[in-house]
């Protein structure tokens, strides 16, 4: 196998045994990018010179006897809504097309300190608003399994970079499913941690009470390694939680005997493709065969997840995006006669259609006379959804469901039908509303496109969902299959 095809833990073992070097690994990934990136369009920018320079520096440190971490010399892709010091960070929006942050996001700083090598910034739906990466102001990313289909979103660039072997690890962010849904579409692993488990400092905000950063990887072991490196309290983020960070690799046990697993009834009914249902049912049967106790559970508030999310998330977005006015940084319209016209034209020129749609919806929900009817009611329903999860976890260790109701759809198929696009996150949104962790892992195929299994846990139970995911992965071959480019 080529170096770019290996996982982070396999490359770490090779580095540790002096069987390869950080420079060789980096060159292998960059060569792969040069061959397939024109087809996939996963990246906004690629750091060729900087990556190679850091790789050589790391090799020098290793030669001098410096101990290596699990991430030393590992090429990592960074979603372009995470701030990177001295490098353009756009959130795939024209309004930030020339923005260069003066600081790194906390998670970026952590992985760079651990010796990881930034290979580039990945494409996304503008300001992380979308489920297909078709809403980027710059390019449409393609799914490596079928270049005529979407990679999911908003972390489509990151998921596609892993599926196409253009990076070893990738950062994603998840507001309503934006790590897990593209991981499902691209046949890779995507983990959304508990809200507060990972610092959001330096993440360009979409909806602050929902956003969470997490790993997109080739297998569950890499997800555990990457999460361990990025998690932890950060005084710069008032929502990050002061809890010790376990070494998540210790939870990678091939054993689910005695665990109680609930299958969410509402996510195997109307609107879920038959092939997807079949893959999830077969996954449940395997877990039962391996010793888990499987039972169906009803989560009646799930049907309200999508409307609740699109009131709360858009309300927060309308507030967060007020800062882009052409005054402090980013794009400023040249067509302005006074301050108000400068505001108006800057935002008209800088924001894309989906961002404008969500700002208008959120502003309406927060406006006088509608706040109680929409925003306040949505907050109450959010509480009910969380209570549904609390009741479920009083009985079950984890819940399972499809990650997405369908496999990847064709590029352009839903771009003019926002409601249909929004419904592609029906299985993932409730998890964000409750602030709990979930992981998507490959569990089958439909017409050559991957199907994702979602494993949901209670707050700060990442170790349990990783254990279940690892057990399933070790007893199947889905994660070993690769897109042919």
Q: Which residues are catalytic?
A: 79, 154, 178
CA 196 to CA 14: how far, in whole Å?
34
Q: Reduce the DSSP state of residue 316 to 3 states and report it.
A: helix
Q: Which residues of 37-46 are buried (b: 16+ CB within 10 A; e: fewer)?
A: beebbbbbbb
- Which of 81, 357, 379, 383 has its CA nearest to residue 206? 81
138: which 2 tokens? Answer: 């710059």
Element (H, E) at 363: helix 353-366
**Please, which residues have CB within 8 angstroms of residue 305's CB and are 6 or more apart in sequence?**
385, 426, 429, 430, 433
- Give the C-alpha distances (Å, rounded to integers) separating 157 from 126, 214, 223: 12, 14, 17
**Please, which residues have CB within 8 angstroms of residue 286's CB and are 6 or more apart in sequence?**
472, 475, 476
Contact 245, 234 (CB under 8 A): no
**Please, which residues have CB within 8 angstroms of residue 460's CB and are 6 or more apart in sequence?**
194, 197, 241, 243, 437
CA 140 to CA 142: how far, in whole Å?
6
**Please, which residues have CB within 8 angstroms of residue 248's CB and are 6 or more apart in sequence?**
223, 224, 225, 227, 228, 462, 463, 466
Task: Give the chain's radius of gyration (CA, Å).
Answer: 21
């Amino acid at each position: 196998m080529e170096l770019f095809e290996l996982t982070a833990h396999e490359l770490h073992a090779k580095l540790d045994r002096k069987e390869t070097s950080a420079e060789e690994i980096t060159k292998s990934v960059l060569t792969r990018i040069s061959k397939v990136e024109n087809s996939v369009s996963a990246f906004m920018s690629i750091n060729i010179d900087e990556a190679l320079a850091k790789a050589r520096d790391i090799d020098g440190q290793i030669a001098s006897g410096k101990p290596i971490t699990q991430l030393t010399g590992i090429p990592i892709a960074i979603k372009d809504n995470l701030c990177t010091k001295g490098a353009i960070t756009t959130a795939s929006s024209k309004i930030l097309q020339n923005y260069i942050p003066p600081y790194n996001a906390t998670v970026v700083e952590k992985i760079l300190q651990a010796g990881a090598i930034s290979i580039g910034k990945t494409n996304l739906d503008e300001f992380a608003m979308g489920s297909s990466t078709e809403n980027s102001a710059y390019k449409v990313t393609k799914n490596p399994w079928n270049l005529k289909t979407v990679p999911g979103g908003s972390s489509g660039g990151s998921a596609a970079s892993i599926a196409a072997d253009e990076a070893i690890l990738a950062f994603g962010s998840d507001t309503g499913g934006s790590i897990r849904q593209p991981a499902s579409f691209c046949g890779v692993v995507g983990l959304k941690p508990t809200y507060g488990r990972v610092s959001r400092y330096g993440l360009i905000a979409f909806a602050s009470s929902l956003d969470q950063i997490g790993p997109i990887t080739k297998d569950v072991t890499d997800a555990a390694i990457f999460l361990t490196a990025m998690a932890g309290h950060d005084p710069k983020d008032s929502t990050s939680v002061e809890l010790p960070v376990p070494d998540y690799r210790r939870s990678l046990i091939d054993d689910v005997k005695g665990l109680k697993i609930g299958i969410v009834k509402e996510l195997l009914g109307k609107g879920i493709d038959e092939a997807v249902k079949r893959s999830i049912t077969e996954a449940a049967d395997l877990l039962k065969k391996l010793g888990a106790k499987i039972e169906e559970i009803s989560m009646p508030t799930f049907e309200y997840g999508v409307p609740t999310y699109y009131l709360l998330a858009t309300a927060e977005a309308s507030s967060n995006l007020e800062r882009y006015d052409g005054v402090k940084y980013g794009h400023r319209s040249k067509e302005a006669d006074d301050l108000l016209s400068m505001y108006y034209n800057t935002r008209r020129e800088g924001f894309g259609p989906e961002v404008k749609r969500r700002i208008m919806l959120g502003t309406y929900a927060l406006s006088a006379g509608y706040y109680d009817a929409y925003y306040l009611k949505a907050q109450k329903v959010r509480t009910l959804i969380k209570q549904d999860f609390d009741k479920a976890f009083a009985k079950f260790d984890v819940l399972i469901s499809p990650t997405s109701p369908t496999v990847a759809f064709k590029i352009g198929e839903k771009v003019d039908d926002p409601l249909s696009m929004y419904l592609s996150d029906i299985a993932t949104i409730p998890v964000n509303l409750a602030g709990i962790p979930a992981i998507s892992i490959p569990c089958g195929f439909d017409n050559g496109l991957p199907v994702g299994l979602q494993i949901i846990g209670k707050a700060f139970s990442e170790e349990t969902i990783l254990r279940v995911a690892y057990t399933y992965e070790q007893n199947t071959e889905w994660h070993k299959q690769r897109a042919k480019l």
